[in-house]
Structure 1
Amino acid sequence: MTRTGDARRTAIVDRAMHVASVEGIEGLTLGRLAEVLRTSKSGIQTLFGTKQELQLSIVAAASHVFERDVLLPAERQPAGLPRLRALMSLWIDYLETFEGGCLFVAAASELDGRSGPVRDAVADAVTQADALLQRDVELARRLGELPSDTDVEQLVFELHAMVLQANHDRQLLGRKDALTRARNAVNHLLGVEQQTGFR
């Protein structure tokens, strides 16, 4: 593919992520994307071939955005609780990245009862994020910044649940305070409720 083709594909995937976050990754057909972009379906098909390839490209691009906006900035913080707090703060910020909220939450709800490469790609992305969260919780415990008897897997579950609930409340129920409540809940879980925010 030429550089022009690569740039066009990147631009299309960028728009497709936003559309998929609103309309669903399963419902986003080549024809629907062509309609949104006001271009020909054949032009989209030339770049992606199939709907599945488009879906996989969307998941890969959303994973890159999550890495760029959440994981890499968090990694620049000191190991332990500062990094864990930064990770959670940035993850909550990420819920505002796409028009329809977290693309992975939406895709997981659509695909959790199905099988196939797209479901596997979404599950893999979520698993990787959880693994990094668990790593940071374990490190904070080893450094003595969390109680020595902290149930790491339980805390990871609860922290991730705060993100999911915030996305649900913000997107489905239109609660404007959802992200603030998520931050307060995370602060409470991490034993820093005396602070009003992460930054």
Structure 2
Amino acid sequence: MASVNGLDGVTIGRLAAASNLSKSAVQAMVGTKEDLQLVVVTAASAVYTDCVGAPAQEYPDGLPRLRAGMRAWVDDYLPHFDGGCLFLAAASEQDGHPGPVRDAIAEAVEHGEQWLRREARLAVRLHELPTDTDVDQLVFELHAIVMQTNHDLQLFQRRDTRTRAHTAISRLLGPETS
């Protein structure tokens, strides 16, 4: 619901209607609308961990894990939500609204970027990426690929989007070796 209608579109009334509960029952479970939005952000973070973090953990640190995580982000996480990446939509929706919801979104996005940064730094230390790699620039470009992929999937429904994303990732990280 949040990925399609935005975080502001998630209301206690809509959730009650979707779950066949009374508004008062839903409110008793989640509290305020802000509390509900924070629950949604937490749930979306768990989906990210399940779709990206956990599968990537099965690969060795550094470049193999970075590649696996990017592949999972593009192939598994982005299509998980009907309306696309909740964090990308919510960041645009909430970026001008200071408060706990905006802070939770920023923290979740930063967590994803920290994961990219950690694996990229390991790849440099392990000599899987050139020693002069600008890790912050690499993280910026990898995150930009995710954002553009979401944009092209949601706005244009381009069928070649994931292929283009994988090509861009390979240009940055080098082709995968068997």
Question: Which range, TM-score by smaller chain?
Answer: over 0.9
Report the TM-score when normalising by structure 2. 0.94
Taking only aligned residues, the RMSD between alpha carbons, in angstroms, comes to 1.5
| Aligned: 1:25 with 2:11 | no
Q: Partner amino acid for 2:86? A: L
Matching residue of 2:163:
180
Structure 1 residue 176, shift from structure 2 partner = 1.9
Paired residue for 2:33, among 51, 54, 66?
A: 51
Identity among equivalent positions (%) equals 56
- Runs of 4+ residues over 2 Å off in structure 1: 35-39
* 1:145 counterpart SS class: coil
Q: In structure 2, what is the Cα distance between the partners aligned to 1:99 and 1:37?
A: 18
Distance 1:112 1:172 in 2: 20
Structure-1 separation of matches of 2:14 and 2:55:
34
**Mind listing any 5+ residue stretches in structure 1 that lack a counterpart?**
1-18
Deviates more, 1:57-66 or 1:173-182: 173-182
1:120 matches 2:103: yes
Q: Which amino acid aligns with 2:90?
A: A
Cα drift, residue 140 of structure 1 = 0.5
Distance 2:145 2:46 in 1: 22
Cα deviations across residues 99-131 of structure 1 (Å, max 9, x unaligned)? 111111111110011101011001001101100
Q: Does 1:69 align with 2:51?
A: yes
Q: Helix, strand or coil for the counterpart of 1:95?
A: helix
TM norm structure 1? 0.85
Match of 1:155 in 2: 138
2:158 is the counterpart of 1:170 = no
The answer to whether residue 86 in structure 2 is matched with residue 103 in structure 1 is yes
* 5+ long unaligned stretches in structure 2: none
> Distance between the aligned counterparts of 1:44 and 1:50, measured in 2?
10
Matched to 1:86, the amino acid is: A
Q: Are 1:41 and 2:23 matched, yes or no?
A: yes
Of 134-143 and 40-49, the range deviating more from structure 2: 40-49
User: What amino acid is the match of 1:174?
Assistant: Q
